[in-house]
Structure 1
């Protein structure tokens, strides 16, 4: 399915205001409410919309510390990669895990209360991840830009 200009406007609005009512969305993209609803349903069915979430405030939830962890594995065999990825999925403090091309095999985004809490996460989880040969952690000092909106 190809996206037309109206689909793109719908996706742009929904990325920034996921709780917008169908009536308000239809008005903003210049469609009837029923046509707008059908388009949103189609965008969901076609996989352009993965789901709707609430973006939480990490500071309010006492998780203001973001740490990026570069992981180098001991090997590239499928079993090593699969074991690592299975284990990462079980760590609640890891928000993102990316298989990388470059100097590290994986890049993790971890949230913590502070450096002590990160030390706990490191001891309990990160140091026990299978296949890890090397780990390098970098603490974010300040978030300059953060968005979940993909240009459409």
Structure 2
């Protein structure tokens, strides 16, 4: 599927940057920042949402304060690429709450999973009781995050 790039102007860029910093800003506050009326800001925001450039709004949580003290990246190499086996693996990834993001990759690993767990024992259980037993999985390699230098930065619009 090909997605064309939406044309946005400098005001749209400023609006997007402000919303990435704080998605709770009101139309009034955004209007003051952008020298627009609240209704103009509202129309721009609606247009950007309707076009799919703004995919949603949400709260960013602190994983450690939520009791998730271990963050890891798990590389998964597949034993097979048979569609039925891959579908089963994808279902596993989608249903495990500790897997917070997943990407397909080029190179040796087929998938990269971002994982947040309570502790090392929970990470071990995920790997040995869920991922490795999956019939599509050949190999799993994990890297535990020691320190986060930059996380979930806004897109450079």
TM-score computed with the length of structure 1 as normaliser:
0.93
User: 2:49 matched to 1:44?
Assistant: yes
The answer for the alignment partner of 1:121 in structure 2 is 126
Aligned length: 152
Q: Is the contact made by 1:69 and 1:110 (CA closer than 8 Å) also made in structure 2? A: yes
The answer for the alignment partner of 2:17 in structure 1 is 12
User: 2:60 matched to 1:55?
Assistant: yes
Per the TM alignment, residue 83 of structure 1 is displaced from its structure 2 partner at its CA by: 2.4
Return 5+ residue gaps in structure 2 as ranges.
1-5
User: What secondary structure sits across from 2:100 in the alignment?
Assistant: strand
User: 2:103 matched to 1:98?
Assistant: yes
The answer for the alignment partner of 2:81 in structure 1 is 76
Q: What RMSD in Å do the two structures reach over aligned CA positions?
A: 1.4
User: 2:64 matched to 1:89?
Assistant: no
The answer for the alignment partner of 1:134 in structure 2 is 139
